[in-house]
Amino acid sequence: MTTGFVFALAGAALFALGVAGVVLIGHLLRRILAFNLMGSGACLVLVGLAQRHDVADPVPQAMVLTGIVVAVAATALALALVRKLHALTGQLELLDDADK
Amino acid sequence: MPINEPLIDPLVWLILLPLAWATLAFVLGPGRGAWLAIGGLVAQCWLAFNLAQKVGALGTAQVGPDQLVGTALHAVGGWGAPLGIDLAVDGLSAAMLLLTQTVALPLAIYARSYFKADDPAGTWFWPLTGFLIAGLNALFVSADLFNLYVTLELVGLAAVGLVAAGGGAQQVAAALRYLFATLVGSGAYLLGVALIYGVYGTVSIATLLPLVTDDAPRLVWIAGGLMVAGLMLKTALFPFHFWLPPAHGGAPAPVSALLSALVVKASFYLILRLWLGPLQPLLPAFAWLMAALGAAAIFWGSWQAIRAVKLKRLIAYSTVAQLGYLFLIFPLLAAPGALQAGVMQVFAHGLAKAGMFAAAGVLIKATGQDTVAGLAGAVERLPVTMFAFALSGMTLMGLPPSSGFLAKWQIIEAALAQGHWIIAVVVLAGGLLAAVYVFRVLRQAFLLKPASVALAPVPRTLEWSAFALAAASVLLGLRGVELMQLLGAGT
């Protein structure tokens, strides 16, 4: 088992943890952290799996850079929305959809 | 296929133009920004028509997505795939581009009158809509799986911003719920892309096409499952629809219309693209699962729409139901006609739902409340708007000669030709359920109302742009042949 493959396995585990966090946790900041964990996991799989024969591959690394930019933008948007929600309602959790 | 210059230009400009007017609208503010956006959209409509004509003329001679190299980045750096980006357009993408521009233009005209000068939602509407449309157009012409991921995120983030643009607590909460759903969806898609790259060393759709076979490694199956599940979450297929009604029902009317008509279709387009393209050997194993979920969506969405108290909730649940039809085509795709039926349904629902949300926006502005009960007497005072609502409803029910009729007719025909009568039954039952919730609204609107209750005056532009969209959804039924021919090109 090469280091690249270990990275990929770790990435898959992180992704699973992240998804569980986003779905199960109530606190919004923690959910945002969990989303970042998820994104990092996917990126680790992308880079790790591609160089599992221990030959570096530049293409997935370029993709991961793009992925990081996307994750930063998404995190910023999520944080802005959470701050707005906190300012409006004083809450840091999503309550049940009020008007069905 | 030879790369010919005239084809490259509209492609690139369909992405650059909305980016340009979005940025300028952000700088110039909503007043001049709105005019800029409308001007840009007129040009985009022309470009999309042009492109569709050219692709249609190329006919059925080509196989697979044609590799057209051409972004601004390319021209400068000269980088092709894998480090650069390839853009490709075939009949399916040309059709989706056409739908996007033709829905967005009337909605932009609508939105200019809809937002009052001091409305904060109006300030953010123009830049975010521009980014949304740029993302959609880029998604429809992307030729590799990773670029599709990036455009998917662009669309998702812009859409979340639009939902939150109103700034109310309900809207922000709906936007956050939507944001988490869309992020998990695209995260699953990205992991799928990572696994595919790990196995095959490429993300280009055209290169993957011959590589993926029946005996693909298990990792590729997992990748396919992850990608499709993520996209189903983003398309709000039952039971992943939980985020849609608050997001689409709570946003301002022009935003709801854009989201219901276009954004959910982007992820559906991507499922279709994977299904017909690189993952063709694997995905048919899931066909009946998707059709079953689609049928469940039709019944659950219609039932919730029938019970809804608020008008926009009703329309949002109707979107959940109508999206179900799109997934009924997957078991039928082996035979000709099913793809055409699916895309016809995308067009029918796109135009009709945009018209219906636009009409609902007028009704809410006039009556001052977002409830079905508040519509009593609307027919007398707002005949054009109610006519628009009824025309859209006609398409959703699938009455001839609307495009909804054409779509449902084709699904039934394809289903019966292959002996899957159960799908035909679901389509017919869905049409009846749609009639129930549409007539629930119309019946209320036809009630007489004491003249003492005044309706607020509404700008004519609002009424007529809603009417234009609704009428287009019906009239498209008469021009279905051209659309079918376009789909034949390159898919």
Q: DSSP letter at B398?
A: T
Question: How far apart, in Å, are the Cα atoms of A51 and each of A3, B56, B188?
Answer: 9, 42, 21
pLDDT for position A8: 92
Instruction: Mark yes or no for CB contact B194/A60 under 8 Å.
Output: yes
pLDDT for position B36: 94
CB-neighbour burial class of residue B422 (10 A; exposed 0-12, middle 13-18, buried 19+): middle
| Number of inter-chain CB pairs under 8 A, A vs B | 113
Taking the C-alpha atoms of residue B83 and residue B92, their distance in angstroms, rounded to an integer, is 26
- B379/A contact by beta carbon, under 8 A: no
CATH level 3 topology of A3-89 = Helix Hairpins (1.10.287)
Instruction: Mark yes or no for CB contact A59/B246 under 8 Å.
Output: no
Taking the C-alpha atoms of residue B446 and residue B464, their distance in angstroms, rounded to an integer, is 20
Among B168, B191, B309, beta carbon nearest to A15: B191
Give the pLDDT band (50/70/90) at residue B50. confident
Taking the C-alpha atoms of residue B367 and residue B385, their distance in angstroms, rounded to an integer, is 13
Among A15, A88, A97, beta carbon nearest to B172: A88
- B146/A contact by beta carbon, under 8 A: yes
Give the pLDDT band (50/70/90) at residue B3. very low
Mean pLDDT for the stretch of residues B322-342: 90
Residues of chain A in contact with residue B203, where contact means CB-CB under 8 angstroms, are: 63
Beta strands in B264-384 (DSSP E): none
Instruction: Mark yes or no for CB contact A42/B194 under 8 Å.
Output: yes
CA-nearest residue to B81 within chain A is A59
Does the structure show a pLDDT above 80 at B74? no
Q: What is the pLDDT of residues B355-368, one digit of tens each?
A: 999 999 999 999 88
Instruction: Mark yes or no for CB contact A77/B146 under 8 Å.
Output: no
Does the structure show a pLDDT above 80 at B69? no
**Quick one: what percent of chain B has pLDDT higher than 90?**
62
Q: Where are the domains of chain A?
A: 3-89
Among B149, B161, B309, beta carbon nearest to A77: B161
**Distance from B176 to chain A by nearest Cα, in Å?**
7
Higher per-residue pLDDT: B371 or B452: B371
Q: Is B87 helix (H, G, I), strand (E, B) or coil?
A: strand
- A59/B contact by beta carbon, under 8 A: yes
Does the structure show a pLDDT above 70 at B474? yes
Taking the C-alpha atoms of residue A12 and residue A4, their distance in angstroms, rounded to an integer, is 13
Ranking A16-25, B250-259, B475-484 by mean pLDDT, the lowest is B475-484
Residues of chain A in contact with residue B176, where contact means CB-CB under 8 angstroms, are: 28, 78, 81-82, 85, 94
pLDDT for position B1: 37
Taking the C-alpha atoms of residue B471 and residue B14, their distance in angstroms, rounded to an integer, is 26
Residues 6+ away with beta carbon under 8 Å from A72: none
Among A67, A77, A84, beta carbon nearest to B190: A67
**Distance from A1 to chain B by nearest Cα, in Å?**
15
A30, A12 contact by CB (below 8 A) = no
Best A45, A54, A66 member to test B by mutation, with max B CBs in 10 Å, is A45
pLDDT for position B62: 43
**Distance from A35 to chain B by nearest Cα, in Å?**
8
Query: Helical H runs in B142-263?
Result: 145-164, 169-200, 205-211, 218-235, 244-250, 253-258
Higher per-residue pLDDT: B462 or B9: B462
B260, B360 contact by CB (below 8 A) = no
Residues 6+ away with beta carbon under 8 Å from B362: B253, B382, B385, B458, B462, B463, B466
Q: Where are the domains of chain B?
A: 285-491
**Distance from B430 to chain A by nearest Cα, in Å?**
22
Q: What is the pLDDT of residues B154-203, one digit of tens each?
A: 999 999 999 998 888 999 999 999 999 999 999 999 999 999 999 998 88
B46, B101 contact by CB (below 8 A) = no
Q: What is the pLDDT of residues A53-99, one digit of tens each?
A: 778 888 888 899 999 999 999 999 999 999 999 999 988 888 766 55
B444 membership: H or E segment, kind and range: helix B421-446
**Distance from A50 to chain B by nearest Cα, in Å?**
5
Residues of chain B in contact with residue A27, where contact means CB-CB under 8 angstroms, are: none
pLDDT for position A4: 85
pLDDT for position B82: 59
Structure tokens at B367: 């009556």
**Quick one: what percent of chain B has pLDDT higher than 70?**
91
Does the structure show a pLDDT above 50 at B63? no
- B127/A contact by beta carbon, under 8 A: no
B409, B281 contact by CB (below 8 A) = no
Write the DSSP assignment of B121-161 as a string of letters: HHHHHHHHHHHHHHHHHHHHHB-BHHHHHHHHHHHHHHHHH
- B190/A contact by beta carbon, under 8 A: yes
Question: How far apart, in Å, are the Cα atoms of B31 and each of A53, B34, B38, B123, B124?
Answer: 57, 6, 12, 9, 12
pLDDT for position B9: 62
pLDDT for position B118: 79
B300, B281 contact by CB (below 8 A) = no
Backbone angles phi, psi at B262, to 5 degrees: -115, -45
- A10/B contact by beta carbon, under 8 A: no
Q: What is the pLDDT of residues B143-155, one digit of tens each?
A: 889 999 999 999 9
Give the pLDDT band (50/70/90) at residue B87. confident
ipTM for the complex?
0.95
**Distance from A55 to chain B by nearest Cα, in Å?**
12
**Distance from A78 to chain B by nearest Cα, in Å?**
7
Instruction: Mark yes or no for CB contact B191/A85 under 8 Å.
Output: no
Does the structure show a pLDDT above 90 at B449? no
Does the structure show a pLDDT above 70 at B207? yes
Quick one: which of B410, B347, B355, B278 has its CA closest to B92? Answer: B347
Q: Which of B8-22, B291-305, B375-389 has the highest mean pLDDT?
A: B291-305
